[in-house]
């Protein structure tokens, strides 16, 4: 059957010939009127945008969040009110430290970034497959990532750098214990949990705020790999597993749960509830099931969707908010700024980033701005007035009733840099260690020793001291493994 779809150039004109360039004679030089060739080569030179500095190797899919527990007592967010309410989502998994050239089965934290396309705008929860992180202050984030990237001299991975950073930053001990455990290499993206990790917030129509942590518990069960098992896996195995499962109708799903903490509880709690290196114990703040998350549609174009999707914790809707978590505060700026650099000022106009509700604002122009025939319906707002306040009745105006209640500050707070490097870096890491089985402890110690042996004697000594402060047996076993 002959197709009636004709090849065109980028301006839509039909192309008569696309296999051969125009030349001066059969064997002669090419001529300067090869506009079709020039268009193809020029676009080819620009096909790649800068890869993400972190979370570069990603895997995405579309799906649905179905609410089963009405949260109207805690939030005015419409997508969290009622039951059986469905919201479209996009979920991007990723490795963190490696570039796009890294393998699927490296020992690394996995990103778990989830977008809800709500009726009031996009809400992004940008987390990982671990409930904690290496740091509690964003000032050290660039240094941390530099230590995890390739050696600047050899351009090769260097575990000695990892441990040198950690030896000087014991706030990482809890996350190290998770990363080096049997959960450090997921068997697949379907067989791991996701966490919002940060303390976030919700607020209701009475102006009452609660702090919240999000948990996404895999319904497929946790399955992981040892270093030896991972070495036998194909480089793209995790990506293929997700694509094939969804294509075959075996839709992965997660039970969505939250923890809630009142403002009064936060003030009285003995540890800082906004410290990203710590969890909220389930015994104090039990998990509350609120719904199901299912992935049921693969992307149609990896670049347009998975590579250009732009998550940011600053993408919030009425009824949800941030918290005094310092890492979160830094990310409110850094994530959106990274996307403006990578994709452009109008990255939110791309289909995968575009809200599924009307957008009305006074931001204008910039590269790739899109419009439409009506004054306020296009993202560039077309003929609509471009400043506020104004005298136009039809122009967008603020909606005071969705204002977030004021966030309390510490009484008599003084503005300065506060040193939190010694803010109990060991208790929860030790508690996690003591929960492990003997086999899990064996894997943990082996994984730590494999990289730590490549560090200097000074780094090894300090790391053993840190592990010992977590748990005496923990430190003793690491020391013994280093001596073998």
Q: What share of the chain is helix, strand, coil (3-state, %, to 5)?
A: 30, 15, 50
Measure the CA–CA gap between 212 and 80, rounded to whole angstroms: 13
Copy the structure tokens of residue 465: 């001291």
Q: What are phi and psi of 305, to 5 degrees?
A: -110, -70
Q: What is the 3-state secondary structure (H, E, C) of 215-239?
A: EEEECCCCCECCHHHHHCCCCCHHH
Measure the CA–CA gap between 407 and 199, rounded to whole angstroms: 14
| Of 151, 204, 210, 144, nearest in space to 179 by CA | 144
The residues near 34 (Cβ < 8 Å, ≥ 6 apart) are: 21, 22
Measure the CA–CA gap between 85 and 151, rounded to whole angstroms: 49
Measure the CA–CA gap between 441 and 470, rounded to whole angstroms: 14
Q: Which 8-state DSSP code applies to residue 12?
A: S
| Of 171, 56, 161, 169, nearest in space to 102 by CA | 56
Contact 293, 216 (CB under 8 A): yes
Contact 430, 474 (CB under 8 A): yes
E-strand ranges in 335-437 read none
Q: Which 8-state DSSP code applies to residue 422?
A: T
Contact 85, 79 (CB under 8 A): yes
Map residue 291 onto helix, strand or coil.
strand
Most distant CA atoms of the chain, gap in Å: 85
The residues near 152 (Cβ < 8 Å, ≥ 6 apart) are: none
Measure the CA–CA gap between 328 and 127, rounded to whole angstroms: 10
Measure the CA–CA gap between 182 and 436, rounded to whole angstroms: 10
Active site residues: 55, 128
Termini Cα distance of the chain: 70
- Give how far Cα 18 sits from Cα of 4, 14, 40, Å: 17, 11, 10
- Upper half-sphere CA count for residue 241 (Cβ side, 13 Å): 16
Map residue 103 onto helix, strand or coil.
coil
Contact 277, 172 (CB under 8 A): yes
Measure the CA–CA gap between 137 and 484, rounded to whole angstroms: 36
């Amino acid at each position: 059957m002959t197709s009636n779809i004709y090849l065109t150039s980028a301006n839509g004109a039909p192309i008569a010939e696309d296999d051969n360039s125009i030349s001066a004679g059969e064997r002669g030089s090419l001529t300067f009127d090869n506009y079709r060739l020039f268009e193809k080569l020029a676009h080819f030179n620009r096909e790649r945008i800068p890869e993400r500095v972190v979370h570069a190797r990603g895997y995405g899919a579309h799906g649905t969040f179905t609410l089963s527990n009405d949260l109207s007592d805690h939030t005015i967010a419409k997508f969290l009110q009622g039951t059986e309410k469905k919201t479209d989502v996009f979920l991007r998994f990723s490795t963190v430290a490696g570039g796009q050239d890294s393998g699927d089965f490296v020992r690394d934290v996995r990103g778990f970034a989830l977008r809800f396309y709500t009726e009031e705008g996009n809400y992004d929860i940008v987390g990982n497959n671990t409930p904690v992180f290496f740091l509690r202050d964003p000032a050290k984030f660039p240094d941390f990532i530099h230590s995890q990237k390739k050696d600047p001299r050899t351009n090769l991975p260097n575990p000695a750098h990892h441990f040198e950073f950690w030896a000087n930053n014991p706030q990482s001990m809890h996350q190290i214990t998770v990363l080096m455990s049997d959960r450090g290499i997921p068997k697949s993206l379907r067989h791991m949990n996701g966490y919002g990790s940060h303390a976030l917030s919700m607020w209701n129509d009475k102006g009452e705020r609660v702090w919240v942590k999000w948990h996404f518990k895999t319904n497929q069960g946790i399955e992981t790999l040892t270093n030896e098992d991972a070495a036998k896996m194909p480089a793209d195995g995790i990506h293929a597993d997700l694509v094939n499962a969804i294509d075959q109708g075996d839709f992965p799903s997660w039970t969505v749960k939250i923890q809630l903490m009142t403002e009064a509880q936060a003030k009285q709690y003995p540890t800082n509830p906004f410290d990203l290196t710590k969890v909220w114990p389930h015994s104090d703040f039990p998990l509350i099931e609120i719904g199901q998350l299912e992935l049921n549609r693969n992307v149609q174009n990896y670049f347009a969707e998975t590579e250009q999707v732009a998550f940011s914790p600053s993408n919030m809707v009425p009824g949800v908010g941030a918290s005094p978590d310092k890492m979160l505060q830094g990310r409110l700026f850094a994530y959106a700024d990274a996307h403006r650099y990578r994709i452009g000022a109008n990255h939110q106009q791309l289909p995968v980033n575009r809200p599924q509700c009307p957008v009305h604002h006074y931001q204008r122009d910039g590269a790739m701005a899109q419009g439409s025939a009506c004054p306020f319906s296009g993202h560039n707002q077309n003929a609509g007035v471009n400043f506020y306040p104004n005298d136009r009745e039809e122009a967008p105006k603020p909606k005071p009733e969705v204002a977030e209640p004021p966030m309390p500050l510490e009484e008599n707070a003084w503005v300065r840099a506060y040193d939190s490097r010694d803010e109990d870096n060991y208790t929860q890491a030790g508690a996690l260690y003591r929960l492990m089985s003997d086999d899990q402890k064996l894997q943990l110690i082996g994984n730590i020793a494999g990289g730590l042996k490549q560090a200097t004697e000074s780094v090894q000594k300090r790391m053993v001291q840190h592990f010992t402060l977590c748990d005496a047996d923990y430190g003793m076993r690491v020391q013994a493994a280093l001596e073998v």
